[in-house]
Structure 1
Amino acid sequence: MDKKKILIIEDEEKIATMIQQYLLKEQFAVLIAADGVMGLKKARQEKPDLIILDLMLPGLSGLDVCREIRKESQVPIIMLTAKAEEIDKLLGLELGADDYITKPFSLAELAARIRAVLRRSGGQEQPKNTVQTRGDLTIDFSGLQVYKKGQPLNLTPTEFNLLSVLFRHPGRVYSRLQLLDAALGEAYQGYERSIDTHISNLRRKIEDDPANPRYILTVYGVGYKFGEG
């Protein structure tokens, strides 16, 4: 089996090397870029399976790099940030990052996050009927593709997985914690509010009017459900 290729975009050499050495032991192939411009170049040239992206980079910030990558690729992105403010984390998610982790962090936790993101981007759990349609939306579960009125939508792995969970059980109400567990895995418990940002991103992509959603409905005080359409 080919090793999954991880690109680390991090300007602090000590941190980048520490992550690289740990991931090499975990049987990943690892590349490093020390700034945003080089990181963007390597992302385009090397086509990594996942990117670890520092928020604070010289020249081109992590948010700018994330924005540029999302214009052309849905490669999974985990953002590293030394900032504890919720707004910084949520801004990264709004730009299409799949997850964030705050410095200082455990290397074991980072590896767990990487594996969780790669699992859901690989779509391991598939229903027997791999193509299902509800309203104007069609999901090809085996092909990891969502269509609206026959046109393909560009969803991140996290967005695809969240939509898949809700889509399979229309009308069923999921709490934020249940969505984290079902769609993202146990490593994400304690990050319930990040679900709201992913849901907001999803609505912008699948709803005709995100402010008055037809598909992903809010159940106030509880969580979310998929409408009958």
Structure 2
Amino acid sequence: MKRLLIIEDEKELALSLESHFFNLEIETKISLNGEDGIKQYNEFKPDLVLLDINLPLKNGWEVCEYIRSKSETPIIMMTARDSELDEIHGLEIGADDYIIKPFSINVLSTKVKKILKLNSQTIYSYKNLIYTYRDEILKIGNERVSLSVREKDLLEYFIKNKNKPLSRSNILLEIWGMDNEFDERASDTLVKRLRKKLGSYEELIGTVRGVGYIFEEK
């Protein structure tokens, strides 16, 4: 999984970006100031950095220069400034791209996907189990496994939240939405169906007593 570090002092924006990229299967961390950004960069070792310019403690220029002195990690600068000189300066000190606030999340996503070389062919694999997101196809060995829409949604939800305990109510909300007429037993029924489809890999879906389920690679 690719790693993305967001260094942005506008917390609401940072959280919104985190949520968006999490849904794209990108592991994401947030820093709200320049000093912590440098610390997180060294610890998290991201594949890409989204970097605001107007940061407390250390500004974006300083953080960019620090990162570039250590590695070639791609950097996209984010700023409310619209000066061409700022853009040129960012590129001169090592930024790979530049986006001006307010920006379209889809435009930013395109930039991120391009740099991280992500596309709709994202694949999850474990031993000889392969799930292809674009085609929504599950294969175990050479056998293609047919999944219903709900089973596919549940499998993707489990993969996205791998190693995290998930409650029955959260599964219900994610798969059927808020305006549903089902009780939590519907989650149990769907999990049972998916386990059966996984065959010898049914152990990937564990039961967490008193909570719900967890998707873990053994």
Superposed CA RMSD: 1.1
Is it true that 1:80 corresponds to 2:78 in the alignment?
yes
Counterpart of 1:63 (choices 61, 64, 73) is: 61
Counterpart of 1:117 (choices 101, 108, 115) is: 115
1:215 maps to none
TM-score, normalising length from structure 1?
Answer: 0.50
Q: Using the TM superposition, give the Cα deviation of residue 116 of structure 1 relative to its aligned residue in structure 2, in angstroms.
A: 1.1
Structure with greater Cα Rg = 2
Within 5 Å, give how 1:196-211 maps onto structure 2: none
Q: Using the TM superposition, give the Cα deviation of residue 58 of structure 1 relative to its aligned residue in structure 2, in angstroms.
A: 0.6
1:6 maps to 4
Given residue 108 of structure 1, which amino acid in structure 2 is its aligned partner? Answer: N
Superposed CA offset, 1:114-157 (max 9, x none)? 1111239xxxxxxxxxxxxxxxxxxxxxxxxxxxxxxxxxxxxx
Q: What is the alpha-carbon distance in structure 1 between the residues aligned to residue 84 and residue 96 of structure 2?
A: 15
2:87 maps to 89
TM-score, normalising length from structure 2?
Answer: 0.53
Given residue 95 of structure 2, which amino acid in structure 1 is its aligned partner? Answer: A
Q: What is the alpha-carbon distance in structure 1 between the residues aligned to residue 44 and residue 25 of structure 2?
A: 18
What secondary structure sits across from 2:106 in the alignment? helix
- Report how many aligned residue pairs link the two structures: 118
Unaligned ranges ≥5, structure 2: 119-218
Q: Using the TM superposition, give the Cα deviation of residue 35 of structure 1 relative to its aligned residue in structure 2, in angstroms.
A: 0.2
Q: What is the alpha-carbon distance in structure 1 between the residues aligned to residue 8 and residue 44 of structure 2?
A: 16
Given residue 115 of structure 2, which amino acid in structure 1 is its aligned partner? Answer: V
Within 5 Å, give how 1:23-172 maps onto structure 2: 23-119=21-117
Q: What is the alpha-carbon distance in structure 2 between the residues aligned to residue 17 and residue 67 of structure 1?
A: 25
Q: What is the alpha-carbon distance in structure 2 between the residues aligned to residue 9 and residue 32 of structure 1?
A: 6
Given residue 9 of structure 1, which amino acid in structure 2 is its aligned partner? Answer: I
* Structure 1 residue ranges (4+ consecutive) displaced by more than 6 angstroms after TM superposition: none
Q: What is the alpha-carbon distance in structure 2 between the residues aligned to residue 28 and residue 9 of structure 1?
A: 16
Given residue 98 of structure 2, which amino acid in structure 1 is its aligned partner? Answer: Y
Q: What is the alpha-carbon distance in structure 2 between the residues aligned to residue 25 and residue 72 of structure 1?
A: 29
Unaligned ranges ≥5, structure 1: 121-229
Q: Using the TM superposition, give the Cα deviation of residue 74 of structure 1 relative to its aligned residue in structure 2, in angstroms.
A: 0.6
Q: What is the alpha-carbon distance in structure 1 between the residues aligned to residue 45 and residue 111 of structure 2?
A: 20
Superposed CA offset, 1:158-196 (max 9, x none)? xxxxxxxxxxxxxxxxxxxxxxxxxxxxxxxxxxxxxxx
What secondary structure sits across from 1:83 in the alignment? coil
**Larger deviation: 72-81 or 111-120?**
111-120
Q: What is the alpha-carbon distance in structure 1 between the residues aligned to residue 90 and residue 59 of structure 2?
A: 11
Aligned 8 A contact 1:78 1:97 in 2: yes
What secondary structure sits across from 2:38 in the alignment? helix
